[in-house]
Each structure stands twice: as C-alpha cells, then as structure tokens.
Chain A
Amino acid sequence: MSSSSTATAQAPEAEHDAHGHGHGHDAHGGHHAPQSFFHKYLYSTDHKIIGMQYLFTGMFMALIGGFTVYAFRMQMAFPGMSVPGYGRVSAGDYNALVTTHGSVMIFWVAMPVLIAALGNYLIPLMIGCDDMVFPRLNRLSYQIFLLSVIVLIASFFVDGGAFGGAWTSYPPLSAKAQYNLTPLGAPMCLTAVALEFAAFLMGGINFVTTVMNSRAPGMKMFDVPIVIWSIIIASILFMASVGPLIAGAIMLLFDQTLGTAFFDPNKGGDPVLWQHLFWFFGHPEVYVVLLPAMGIVAEVIVTFSRKKLFAYKTVLYTMVGTGVISFFVWAHHQFVAGIDPRMANIFSVTTLLVSIPVAEMVFVYIATLYGGSIRLTTPMLWALAFIAEFLLGGVTGIYLGSSGADIYFHDTYFVLAHFHYTFFPIAFIAVFAALTYWFPKMFGRYMNEAWGKVHFWGTIIAFNFIFIPLFLLGARGDHRRIYDYTHFPDLMKPGMQDLRVLATVSLVVLLCFQVIFVVNYFLSMVRGPKASANPWKANTLEWAAPSPPPHGNFPDGLPTVHRGPYEYSHPDRQEDYWPQNAS
C-alpha cells in the first residue's frame, strides 16, 4: 500500500478499485441510499454511531452504578430500613451492591464513556478523516462490550446472586464458592470484566493505528489536539498494563471453575500474587481514565479562555511521564497486605514522585487561564470545577502514598473519599464538560444554558457534601465495606452517624439533580435551538465539519492542516481564533 499523506477525496477511490472494490464511492459524501434503522443505528460501522452506542450504554450503566450506591448508602445511614425502590439490604446484598457499584463505575461508566465513546467520536473528526481505520473491528468491539454488559447484568439474577468480594476480587475469597457463597456470580463477574477488556484492547489498537496513520495532510505530531493525545496515551497505557491481569483473570477463573490452585495457599498457590497482578494494572488504570479527562479539560479551557494552551509540549511530556511512572507504584495499595516491608520504602518514593508530573499538568492549566478572556459557559464551569475538585483528590493521595500514614488510612473511608475526589471529577465532571461542549457538534443543537447551570451548581455542591463528611469519617476510623456500623462502639461516637446521614442525604440530592441533566440533554436533542458548524469559534478540526457531521464527516472534502490546534487570540489576526484548516 503506497504512502499517500496527501490523500485527497479522489485518490483513494483509485486504490479501492485496484483492490477490486467498486464501492469506494459510497464510503464518503452525504449521498447515501436511505438505510434501515438497524443498519444506520444498531449495526453501523460509522465511528460516530459506535461512539454514541458506547455513550448511551455508559449512561445506562451510570444509572445502575448510581442506583446501587443509593441503595447501600441508605442502609448505612439508616441501618435495617427498607430502602424505597430496593427493600431491605442484607449483609450479602450490601457487599454485592458495593462490588457492583465499584466495578460498574470504573469498567462500565468511566472507561466506555471517556475512552471508547469520546475516543470513537472525536478521533476521526479531530484528526480530519472520515472514519477509523478498522470500522468493522470497531463495531465488533462494541458488540463484545455489549455482551459484557449482558453477562454482568445476568449475574445479578443467578443463584446465589451477584459477586460480593469487592471490585478488587482478592482470592481466596473470590476463588472459592465456599467462601464467597456466589458460585455463579463470581465467575460471571470475572468473565464480564474479561470481555470488556477484550473490547477495549480492540478499540485501543484501532485508536492508536488510526492516529498514527490517518491524520489529515499537514497534521504533524505536535498539531494533534491534547485530548486526542491523552486518549492515545491512555490506550497504550491500558494495553501495556492489562496483560498481567488478563493472565491473572484466566488463572482465577480456573481456580473458580476447574479446581486449580494458583491462588490457594493450601495447595502451593499464592494469594498475594493476584494482588500484584491486579494492582500492576489497577494503578495505571486510574491514569487511563485520568488522562482523557485532563485532555477534555484542556480543550474546553483554551476555547473558553481564548488562550493558547500554555506549553503544549510540557503537557504532552507530563502525560507520558505520568504514564511511565504509573507502572512503578502499584504496591502502594499493598503496604500492609503482607508484602516484604522493605518494598514499601521503594513504592513510597515512586508514589510521591508521580505527584510531580500531575502537579505540573495542573499548574499548566492554571497558567493557561492567565491573561485570558474567560467565558463562564456551562462546559467551562465543569472544566474549571474539574481542576478545583481534582486537586483535593490528588493531594489526599499524598497521605496514602506516605507509607507510615497509610498504615492508619488503608481501607478506611479516607481512601474512599480520596479516590472519589479523583473519580467523580473524572467520570462525571469532566464528562459533563465534554457532553456539554461537544453537544452542538453531536446533535446540531444547543443545550439549555440556564438549566445546565442549575445542574452544575446542584451537582458540585451536593458532591462536596457527600465526600467531605466521608473524609472526616475515614480519619476517625470508619473502615470500608461495612453495612452496619452499630457493631463497632468506637464508630458510633456522637456525631458520626450524623455525618453518615449527611453524606447519604447529599447523595439523594445529587441524584435528583441528575434528572435535570438527563431531561435537558435529551430534550435539547430535539428542541434545542439549532447550532452552526462552529458555535464556540474553536480551532480544532471537528468544528470544520457540519453539525452534526454526516457519514463520512467532511462532505466538502477532507481538511488539510496548516497550524497547531491552539492559536487563539493571535496578535496578527482580527479574529481571536484561527482554525487549524483555515488557509
């Protein structure tokens, strides 16, 4: 295949014919024969449709993740009550709900929405081509993902119920039905996660090759928008870290079903091995979701402060740096897990070092605001809130990375609040920024700003009222995965139950505010005022396509790139923006 970095809309057809395909013409341009609903929306190879499929599936899973947390937090605040909409939460139910909540939020909300949905939707548009390089692999990836969702949901209804051994699935608890009492739930949960990994591996390979090979003519490495870079780095990070866990998952599945003893100490296995395999993936995984969120925030901040991104290359290098260091910190989850105590010293050092590139990224974003012309639109509010909230999640990680302090904090609500202050900003705040920012592109209409702001303030305030109390409870000794604290006299001191109730009530408030978002989102799709191709006056290539972009993305011919993505307020220009493709 010849290299054709100057491909125009014409050239590829010649290539297609050479391969004996006469249908090259149908692949692009808006002039399609009408397709059936099935082919257009359910069985499509169009990257935008696949992105939407991931997005809506992820949103649906967010409802499950949100419902489970509602049920178990109600039980925690009001032990023994019959939770409206769920019923009584038994000890077994509680564990299953917590496990489901954690796994769903990470693997079926954060990952699919941030990487698969946005990656699929944005990559071809932002690098200026018409689709992914492997559209059918892409479709297959979503189908496998859907299968994983079905397997997971089915596991709630089998004999013994859903798995309740925490999202970390530590053996021997997870390995033997006699311990976990979920003979079917445990292997099904593991199978679902494995299928999901397979789907994302396919997606990741597709993303990386697409960006490497199919960028618009003229788009050099440093002209690629940061959000695309972040998704690519995250995909590579995922690919490089998930292998050992896939291996571990196969071994654990065999322990559960075939009677092997990889993790069974009584027969020569080693339960701590699983922890190493899990966290070797588990820690990089948190940066797999962090980086795309950071990328989204970069795009939104530059657009609404009309500023060039401060030190583009530095952002890029810190992202790579974070990724590299993340491979050497995993045992900070195991300080007191029975590993050789000398190892903790090494991992404490590497863990604190990871704060350096992350801090640099945050500093760069703040510096970008300097001298800007800031517009506080809904997406911008979300992006700024991301920085403000993530900072608290980040700095509390430093307590945990300090091995001496982690002896106390490990597996308390302090850890829990730490990672919700990182995860919630990533999986919801940054996602809301993305959904509101790209809404006009995706659906050709505006969302309602006033309701958007109501939703923003309601969510942000409620969010802090959930997790600040949990920090306090953690510092006072509340430990994780306890369905009823009344068994622990020291944890029922005056005021402690009040904090638990406060967190739960704030959660209910937060959930109510999400109704506003869902209604605003879906109503605006049909009723919102029509948006032009480039409503925010942004530079990147997706805004050169019509809103919403048709199949093939750029009906007037694929764009050619002349400059970097962040040329805002350039002194030589009348306009305060300068699109990448404008000559």
Chain B
Amino acid sequence: MSSFPRPIATTRSVTGISTGKLAVWWLIASEIVIFGGVLGSYLMHRIGHPEWASHAAHTNTWAGAFNTLVLLTSSLFAVLAHQAADQKDGKKAAKFLYLTVLGAFTFLIVKSIEWTGEIQAGYTISSHTFWSFYYTAAGIHGVHVLAGAIIMLVIASDAKKGVDLQRVEAVGLYWHFVDIVWIFLFPLLYIAK
C-alpha cells in the first residue's frame, strides 16, 4: 500500500489546505444532502401525521441519550488525536483514535441491543412508516459510524508508525460530521413524541 508511487499532483496545495482535508469537506457536503433528503422526507411526513407520536413513544429515549453522550465523548477524543498529530506524536494520536473507535463500537452495541428489543416487541421496519424511517435513518447513520471506525483503525495503525499524520485531522472532521448527524436524529426520532 505505501509503496504506491504518488503523483506530483498530490503534493501541490494551491489553496493552502491539504488535499485530504479538502476532499473530506466535499465528502461532507455531499453527505449533508443525502441526510437532508432522508430527514426532509421524514419531517414532511411527521408534520402531516401527528398520530405517529404514538409509535415514537415506543423508542428508548434513554438509550438514545446515552448514545449521544458516547458520540460526543468520542468526538472529543478525535480532537485530542488531532492535537497529538499536530505535535507529530503519532503514538499518542493513534491511542486517542483507538479511544474514538471504542466509542463507535459502544454506540453500535447499544444500538443493536435497542433494535433487538424493538424488533422483539414487534416494531419492525415494515410494520409502520414511522418505523421504516426510524430504521432507515438510523441504519444509514450506523453504516457511517461503522465505516468511520474502520477508517480510523487503518489511519491509527499508520499513525503509530508516524505515517500520514495529516489524515488524523481529516478523519476527525468526518467523525464530527457523523456526530452532528446524530445530534439531529436523536431529537427527531426519540424526543419528538
């Protein structure tokens, strides 16, 4: 992987912003519209159907709140990892990245417990359009959490060797974005009852 010959294009930086970071910003921009599409559709339906509140009442607000806390903490670790990377301390950056990944997996575990309970209670993706939105929106977000965790593991193992430290900041940006999406999902799916 690292023996890949990089083109000169990669080393230029006309804007003064590193290429990886720029790309992550554009990635985030395109993701915003994807989540915008899901949440916009959901909001339109929700406003048109006040009676969905009775379904929303069956979501587990405490699990959601706990997960919000977990993600916020992990975002903090991502910031610390970035700081460490700025100081060229790859080992420390990797350590904080692992902590962030720990947060990601905690989030996913809580999520699976939650979903198992709900599915056992008979609320599946096809039982009502509220639940369809609930599983779809949170599911797409969950896939992003998982993807972020895997990317962070790869970057952390490079960072440990002091390679490509600039990526730590880029993945941190992405992680903050995933976090912010959850900050929107949580009130919309769990609190609005």
Contact = CB atoms under 8 A, between A and B. Distances in A.
A and B touch in the complex (CB under 8 A): yes
Interface of A: 1-5, 7, 9, 11-12, 15-16, 19-21, 23-28, 45, 124, 129-136, 201, 204-206, 208-210, 212-215, 239-248, 250-251, 254, 258-262, 267-270, 273, 277, 552, 558
Contact of B22 (A129, A213, A258): A213
A243 B37 contact: yes
Nearest to B29: A239
Contacts of B4: 21, 23, 45, 136
Given A2-B13, A273-B44, A261 B129 contact: yes
B84 to A, nearest CB: 17
B110 interface: no
B163 to A, nearest CB: 6
A23 B13 contact: no
B29 A215 contact: no
B120 interface: no
Contact of A254 (B23, B30, B125, B163): B125
A261 B7 contact: no
Interface in B70-102: none
B19 A133 contact: yes
A208 B163 CA distance: 25
B29 A240 contact: yes
B38 interface: yes
Interface in B101-138: 125-126, 128-129, 132-133, 136
Contact of B7 (A19, A135, A213, A215): A135
Interface in B16-34: 16-19, 22-23, 26-27, 29-34
A260 B30 contact: no
B49 to A, nearest CB: 7
A240 B44 CA distance: 20
Interface size class of B (residues with CB under 8 A): 35 or more
B24 to A, nearest CB: 9
Nearest to B131: A260
B135 to A, nearest CB: 8
A137 B22 CA distance: 15
A245 B16 CA distance: 33
A541 to B, nearest CB: 13
A265 to B, nearest CB: 11
A208 B30 CA distance: 12
Contacts of A135: 7
Contacts of B45: 268-270, 273
B8 interface: yes
A204 B25 CA distance: 13
B13 A239 contact: no
Contacts of B18: 1
A3 B23 CA distance: 16
B54 interface: no
A569 B6 CA distance: 39
Contacts of A2: 13
Contact of A242 (B5, B14, B17, B30): B30
Contact of B37 (A4, A248, A552, A558): A248
A268 B129 contact: yes
Contacts, number: 186
Contact of A24 (B6, B29, B49): B6
Nearest 5 interchain pairs by C-beta: A243-B33, A244-B37, A247-B37, A131-B7, A259-B126
Contact of A241 (B12, B33, B133): B33
A133 B10 contact: yes
A240 B29 CA distance: 7
A157 B18 CA distance: 47
B16 A201 contact: no
Given A239-B30, A244-B36, 15 more contacts: A5-B12, A45-B4, A130-B7, A130-B8, A132-B9, A136-B4, A205-B27, A209-B22, A210-B9, A212-B22, A215-B14, A240-B29, A245-B37, A248-B41, A261-B129
Contacts of B19: 1, 133-134, 209, 213-214
Contact of B9 (A26, A133, A262): A133
B147 to A, nearest CB: 13
Interface string B32-55: 111111101100110001000000
Contacts of A246: 34, 37
A518 B44 CA distance: 50
27 contacts: A7-B11, A21-B2, A23-B3, A26-B5, A45-B4, A131-B8, A209-B19, A209-B22, A209-B23, A210-B9, A212-B22, A214-B10, A215-B14, A239-B26, A239-B29, A240-B30, A241-B33, A244-B41, A247-B38, A247-B41, A254-B125, A258-B125, A259-B125, A260-B132, A260-B136, A268-B129, A558-B8
A251 B26 contact: no
A13 B41 CA distance: 50
A552 B9 CA distance: 10
A213 B12 contact: yes
Nearest to A206: B23
A258 B126 CA distance: 7
A9 B41 contact: no
A4 B12 contact: yes
Nearest to A267: B129
Contacts of B38: 247, 250-251
A196 B2 CA distance: 28
Given A241-B33, A243-B37, A261 B126 contact: yes
Contacts of B27: 205
A243 B30 contact: yes
Contacts of A247: 34-38, 41, 140
Contacts of A250: 38, 136, 140
Contacts of A26: 5
Contacts of B22: 208-209, 212-213
Given A212-B15, A213-B19, A262 B41 contact: yes
B45 to A, nearest CB: 7
Contacts of B5: 21, 23-27
A16 B6 CA distance: 8
A171 B45 CA distance: 17
B114 to A, nearest CB: 19
A204 B29 CA distance: 12
A214 B14 contact: yes
Given A21-B2, A247-B38, A212 B14 contact: yes
B136 A1 contact: no
B13 A132 contact: no
A473 B136 CA distance: 45
Given A132-B9, A212-B15, A214-B12, A19 B164 contact: yes
Contacts of A11: 11
B6 A239 contact: no
Contacts of B8: 7, 9, 12, 27-28, 129-131, 214, 558
B166 interface: yes
Contacts of B9: 124, 129-133, 210, 214
A260 B126 contact: yes
